[in-house]
Amino acid sequence: MLNTSLRLLRAFVVVSQEGNMRRAASVLEVAQPSLSQDIRRLEQHVGAVLFERSKHGMKLTTAGEKFLLGSTAALSLIERGVANAQTVSTTGRPKFVISFSPSIGERIVPRLLPLIDERLPHVDLEEREVDTGEVGPGVRDGRFDVGLAHCPGEDPSLETTLIAEEPLSVAVAASHPATARGRLHLAELEGLDLLLWPRATAPDYYDHIVNICTVAGLQPEVLKGARRAFFRPDLLATGRTFCLFVGSPTATRPRDVAVLPVEDLHAVVPLMFIRRSSDLRREVLEVESCARAISATPVHG
């Protein structure tokens, strides 16, 4: 029964990806009538219609979209289980994957990993740097054991715990008057455009940054920048644009761009520890404890 169930789940996922029974059958290397029967059998097991069928192809119903989330997560967890078993067989230690966004990887992870190694010497630790918006879904789907991210989206299958409130810095042209003082109030950015990553990359984080500007009385035009906004120093150096971020990347700062701490008390971003709600393994809780210990000490740019 287990093999049959896995086969049906894989068939469902491929059909949802291809949106076409013929193409899905080709990917799975099965006959199209057999695949059609598998999908109908799965719908009977689930007790819901998962696809809207038309001459244009196969489109997920609302029930199908919900089932896809669970199916993807289930298959990912099984694949992780197989990989973990192979790792233990080879190294004698279980694999443990921690994910994080780029700014966290630059500032926090270098101090966090040695502490985890010290407290959990029996695990084979792997780290994965991904976009902020990918951390939570990756933990949910079983690709990562835990994650660290700013402003992850809400997900009932995940437990998110506040680790720290991290203050924002601002990048502006070095000619901005506030550079002489070495600090800046957000109100001093009136009239400038906000350089920000595409919202689809991390929508909750994006909205949090925009809301911080709104609370400060700013309504800047948002310019879509790269996934890491600081990679556009040409726009910042014009004097017409600014960007907000956690940390202070002094090592990569161009000479015509200044990085200043923001004085507004509300200009902070929550750093969250993410795990699956059902995952209470000792290793998971120990990594969370390590993250708390690191966040209790000052983090310098």
pLDDT tens profile 166-209? 999 999 999 999 999 999 999 999 999 999 988 888 899 999 99
pLDDT tens sequence across 218-248: 999 998 876 665 668 888 889 999 999 887 6
- The alpha helices in 19-108, defined as continuous H runs, are 21-28, 32-46, 62-91, 102-107
What's residue 295's pLDDT?
81
Which domains does the chain possess?
2-73 (1.10.10.10), 76-162+271-295 (3.40.190.10), 164-269 (3.40.190.10)
Q: Return the number of other C-beta atoms located less than 10 Å from residue 280's C-beta.
A: 10
Q: What angle do CA 148, 285, 147 make, to 5 degrees?
A: 15
Per-residue pLDDT tens for 14-72? 899 898 888 988 888 888 888 888 888 888 888 899 999 888 888 999 998 888 877 87
pLDDT tens sequence across 252-279: 567 899 999 999 999 999 999 999 998 9
Burial class (CB within 10 angstroms; exposed 0-12, middle 13-18, buried 19+) of 11: buried
More confident position, 117 or 4: 117
Of 170, 177, 222, 219, nearest to 196 by C-alpha is: 222
Residue 145 in contact with residue 288, Cβ under 8 Å? no
pLDDT band at 300 (very low <50, low <70, confident <90, very high): very low
Q: For 221, which DSSP code?
A: P
pTM of the model: 0.68
Residue 248's pLDDT is: 60
Higher-pLDDT residue of 295, 227: 295
pLDDT band at 102 (very low <50, low <70, confident <90, very high): confident
pLDDT exceeds cutoff 90 at 136: yes
What's the confidence (pLDDT) of residue 301?
A: 40
Q: Give the rounded distance of the alpha carbon of 297 from its chain centre.
A: 24
